[in-house]
Structures are given as structure tokens and as C-alpha cells.
Amino acid sequence: MSGLMDAVRAGRTAETVALLDGMTDAERRAEFPALKELRKELRAARWGAESRRAYPALHAAGAACQTGAAGVATWIAAADMRWPGAAPAVFLHLLGDRDPAWLADVVHRLAQRPASSGVRFELMAGLVRLAGCPVPTSDAYVRGWAQHMAGLWQRGGHLTDRLRGEPQLRELVRALFTTDDIGGVLGWGSEEGPHSWHGALALLTADGRLDRAETVDACVARLLRGGSTGDHRAFLRVLKALELTREEERARVADWVAMASDAASPVAAHAQALLGALALDGALPHRSLAQLSAAVLFRPERKLVRTQLVLLGKVLGRDTGAADALLPAVAEAFGHEDADVQERALKLVERHLKKLRSAGARASVVAAAEQLGPALRARATGSLGAAPQDASALVHEEVLPPVPRPARLAPAPSSAAELAEEVGAALAAESDCATFERTLDGLVRHAFRDAAALREALEPVVARRWWAETEEHTAVRVESRFHRHYRGLVGTSDALELLLVALHEKLSVTRLHSGTQAKVSRNLCGHGALSHAFDSRMWEAAYRIRTQPLPFLLATPTWSTGLLEPDELVTRLEEYGRLGAMMKVPTKSAIPAKTSRPCFMLLIAEEIVFAWSSASFSAVVVSVLPFGSTASSCAFSVLWLTPAFAFTSISSYVPGLPNSC
């Protein structure tokens, strides 16, 4: 092993850098294959002490020992070396003597990677400085620049002062307005004045560092383009901080109309206010106001619609000649889905109807009255001269969505490979009740049939889980993470995680057993009580998967509503009996051996009710003894069926409530 590899493996970054400084390009390239092998070796225990110690030196050495820009960029941005990686200053030192064009190629490749790749902005900015190249305007670079500028508050000074020192300010601000989902960065910790982004951009525009017309146009274009709620909030603040003059507002009437018509509600409200001020000053033509109103009056936000009707009322009250242009637009609101909006519009038309001079405008208003509801239509017949509504047209039309029909749950996946795919999807995102029940049933069935084959099929899924590491500290983390006394399960993915941990024997039997013994606290709220039932079911299932797997679950629902068909439950109980299980309840009479299925079901229900009413505890005790049952094994199963019966009956009335095992 070479001295460089010794230094890298030991994590001596300073020594690694010194050795690399004394090597030629050919000597560095000769070391790269060994570095690749070391990287592959460390991946097996990425979070181990040896890996964490070696990664910073390996990260730096791997980049320095390559000559291709693509290879260097890929190595630097690799996910497995992102933490803990080498410091940006180390990379800049090792790569600083390369050709500027090569450095520019590397930094632009890094900048084109998604922001989630975690490439440090300080590294990209340093490479830009060394290469003397144009600044990248990619999402990762601009987002990193904005976060870096906002994060320098510890050094003192205002954000405005820090931005003034940016040599490529105009290019980066221009890119800021075209970057998606940047609003969260611009609005984080935001306040008024030079410390905020909107305040800083306004000040820089005022002192000429940024071109005012270009900044205003970019901000307006960004708001017209739409985006996330955070983007709307951030760029609307910028627009307000710029404090447009009346001439600038008048020059962008078409933009304000477009915003008021289609933009998000806060943006539309601001545009509506600007247009309203212009209209009251006589700077907005009646035709433009009518076009605006026709769009705004059909928006679902009642506040915007009411504000527009108030504005139209003010304009109609000031200018009698506006009625021919504006009243037909007001009448468009007769077709609004809100009856209150229809009534307000009708009142406004009635108040100014006498001002109409054009026969065409009057005809448009009268024709629009056909869209009014029955009560307002009758009123418009008298006030507007609209035609009375035909009685035959008053037919009730059902507008409610159809009642959802219950659907049978699909059977559990027949193969372990298919089940592994469903488990991976369920871990990636919360699944609905039916999908979760199917996946749960599949895990229980395949764990009983062949647990080793199931673990083999799940290897690609489990390899990405944090608890799959073989380090000693991982076992401690698993024991502390899955501790029912301190933390409940959060959703279906968390529940599946517990079952997989049990299947792969990452959690001790003692901890699993303690999870089945948790008591219901009298202080729990309604949500807590339901969560306790779900948690109990999952901990019992995990415990049985680890100790004595069951062939299938008794209470997997038949329907998407959570209902379990009685006949299906009887079939499952008969199968349990065929396999050698024995059900024990505090019985008042023996169930005859030859009993019909309906009678068998009624007798079972009778015994459960008897047990519930006669027991001194708060739950029915129903147990299924393991196959080849003995008295000693009964203790492990005494509560196994308790939630099965209790929660299956509840689920018939509360769709979606998880049934127990």
C-alpha cells in the first residue's frame, strides 16, 4: 500500500494534500484505481467509524487524481461522499493549478446538478473565481448563492451591503427571478428594511446597482408565470417594495389585467387594487375595466368578486356614460356559482339600469338574467323585464357525487418478489388502507411460508434502510428508535418499518414483547386511543413474525370499508382449526363439533359477548394457541385475537379503521 493510500485510509487529510502536491499528473492517475477500490470497500459500512474518518481525505484525493472534468465533477458530487466530505478550500487548493477552461467546465457541470446533490456553493464560487468564467445561472448555483448571502448575517452588516459587494450581481438577480421555488429562501427570516431580500433589492434598484425597468419587468413576469405559494409571497413583496409610480403602473395595465384574471389570490388582489386606483382616477378605459370584470367576476374567491362589484358600483356612480360598457359585464356575474354574488350583481344592475342607452347592452343584461337562480329570476322578471322562467325547466338535478361503492380487497401478493415491490412503494409514501392491509397480509403469509426467501426478496428494499447497517451503534439506534413507551408509530410506512425490522431480527425479542404489553392510558384523547389500537396490532404482528409466525391474519378486511365478511372469518377459523390451532374463550357451554356455518358464527359471537360482559378486565380475552398447542405457549398468545374481534366489529361502522391481526 502506498503512502497516499495509508494517509487516505487513516483520514489524515493534511498529509494527503501534502503528498498530492508533490506528485505529477501521471503519478496521481496511477493512484486512482486504488482509491476507487477503497470507495467500494467503504460503501459497505458507510456510517462506520473507519468510513467517516476516511471519507474527507478520499473525497479530496479522488478529485485530484483524475484529469477529466466530467469524472471530477461526478466524484465531487457523489452522494456517498457528501457527508462527511472534504472542505471547499481543500478542493480549491488541489485543483487551483489546472487550466482555467478546464475549471470552468468543472464548475458548470457541478452547477447543472440538482440542488439536492449538495454541492457546496463556496466550492462552485471559488472555481468561478479561479476560472474567471461567467457565473452559472443554474438552479443549484442561484439557490446556493441566495442561501449563502442570507447566511452571512453572523459576520455583521446588512444583506444590502453584502449584495453590493457581489461582482456579478445583475446576472445573479436576473436569474433569481427565473428560479423555481426560490421563495422559501428569499422569505426565510425575512423582515422589513435592508436585512430582507425585498428591501435589499429595492434599495439596490434605487441606488442604480440594478436597472429599475429590468427589475420591475422581471418581477412582473415572475408573478405572471405563477409558481408556489412561497414564490408568490416573496416576489409580491419585492414588487410592493419597488413602489411603482403611477406612470409605471399605467404602462403595465395589460399585465395587471392578466394577474387579476388568472394569478394566485394574493397576487390577483394586488393587481385588482392597482387597477381599481387607475379606474377611479379615470386612467383605465371602460372597455379595459369591462374585460377585467368579466374575468374577475368568475373567480371562485368571493372577496375578489365582491371587491370588483364595489369598484364597478363606484365607477358607475361617478360616470353615467359607463353603464353601456360596464353593466353587461356586471350581468355576467348572474352565472356565478355563489347565490350571494348573484344577488349583489342583480342589485347593482337594478340600481343603474336606467342609465343604459344602448338597446344592445340592455338586451345583453336581460339575456344574462336567465342564469339567475329561481328566486332571483322571478325578481329580475319584474325589475329587468326578463322573461319568466318556464315551470317545466324547474327540474331537480342531483349534483352530489355518486355514493362510493365498496370494493373487495385484492388478495395478498402471491410471490415474494411482487410483495417486495409493494413494500418498497409503501415505504416511499403513505399508502391507503386497502393497500396497507394487502401488504401487511402478504408479509405475514410469506414470513410463515419461507422467511428466508422473503428476506432475500426484500434485500433491494432493505439495503436503503438506515437500520440495515451492521455497525454496533446501529443496533443501539434501532432499540432506542423502536420503543413504544417513548414513541408511537407514525403512519403506515412507520408500521411496515417495524415489521421489517422484526423480520430481519434487528430488534430484540424483549423489546418486541414489551411493545405488546403497553396499557391504554385513561388520559389519552380520542386520537390517541385509536392510535393505541393500531400500534398494539402492529407490535403484536411484529412480535409474532419474529417468534411464532402465523399462516395468515384472521381480521384482514374483505371490503375497502374495513368490513370483514362473517363467512370469510368462519373459513379462516376453520383453516386455523385444520392447521391445529385451538381457540379458547371463557365459555359458558361447549360448541358442538357438528355445527353449521351460520350457527357456528352465532355461537362464536355469543361466547365473545359472554366473555366481554363477564370479564373483570376491559377487553375480551380471546387466544389462539400455536399449532401443537401446549399450556406453556398459551401465555404468548393470550391477547392475540382480542383486537381481531373488537376492531372488526367497529370497522363495519367506521370505514378505514384498521382491523387487527
Task: Quick: pLDDT tens for 368-393.
Answer: 888 888 788 878 887 787 667 665 55
- Quick check: 515 and 542 in contact, CB under 8 A? yes
Closest CA to 649 of 580, 566, 586: 566
How many angstroms separate the CA atoms of 455 and 463, rounded?
11
> Looking at residue 659, what is its pLDDT?
37
In one letter, which amino acid is 57? A
243 conformational bin, left if phi > 0, alpha if psi -120 to 50, beta if neither = left
Q: Mark 348-362 as b/e (b = at least 16 C-beta within 10 Å).
A: bbeebbebbeeeebb
Provide the grid cell at 114: 440538482
pLDDT on residue 226:
87
Distance CA(409)–CA(560), nearest Å, equals 6
CA distance 635 to 623: 9
Angle between helices 49-64 and 69-76 (to 10 degrees): 160
Looking at residue 154, its pLDDT comes to: 58
The pLDDT of residue 355 is: 87
C-alpha cell at position 135 = 457565473
Distance CA 540, CA 556 (A): 15
| Residues ≥6 apart with Cβ < 8 Å to 260 | 268, 271, 272, 275, 292, 295, 296, 304
Cβ atoms of 114 and 101 closer than 8 Å:
no
Quick one: cell of 284?
383605465
Query: Which CA distances in Å does 537 have to 164, 541, 642?
Result: 61, 6, 10
pLDDT of residue 585: 43
Cα 449 from Cα 452, distance rounded (Å): 9
Helix residue ranges, H only, 413-490: 416-428, 433-457, 459-462, 472-481
Which H or E run includes 583? strand 582-584
Distance CA 88, CA 167 (A): 20
Residue type, 44: A
Give the closest residue to 278 by CA, choosing from 331, 315, 303.
315
Instruction: For residues 88 and 102, give the distance between their C-alpha atoms in angstroms, rounded to a whole number.
Output: 17
Which parts of the chain register pLDDT below 70?
A: 1, 46-47, 152-157, 188-193, 386-387, 389-398, 470-473, 485-487, 520-527, 581-661
Please provide residue 648's backbone torsions phi and psi, each rounded to the nearest 5 degrees: -65, -40
Whether cis (ω within 30° of 0) applies to the bond prior to 167 is: no
Looking at residue 60, its pLDDT comes to 95
Residue partners of 266: CB distance under 8 A and separation at least 6: 232, 233, 236
Give, for 120, the enclosing helix (H) or strand (E). Answer: none
**Cα maximum dimension of the chain:** 100
Contact 557, 412 (CB under 8 A): no
- The proportion of the chain whose per-residue pLDDT surpasses 70, expressed as a percent, equals 81
> Rounded to an integer, what distance in angstroms lies between the CA atom of residue 420 and that of residue 630?
35
Cell of 461: 428494499
Query: What is the reported pLDDT for 534?
Result: 85
Strand partners, 584: 623
The pLDDT score that the predictor gives to residue 580 is: 72
Tell me the three-class secondary structure of 169-190, residue by residue: HHHHHHHHCCCCCCHHHHHCCC
Cell numbers of 359, please?
Answer: 338597446
Residue 99 vs residues 96, 132, 406, 437, 520: alpha-carbon distances, Å: 8, 11, 68, 60, 69
Question: Torsion-angle region of residue 540: left (phi > 0), alpha (psi -120 to 50) or beta?
Answer: alpha
Q: How far is CA 99 from the centre of its chain?
A: 43
Q: Look at residue 519 in the predicted model and tell me its pLDDT.
A: 74
Q: What is the CA radius of gyration of the chain?
A: 36
The answer to whether residues 138 and 112 touch, using CB atoms and an 8 Å cutoff, is yes
pTM of the model: 0.62
Strand partners, 559: 408
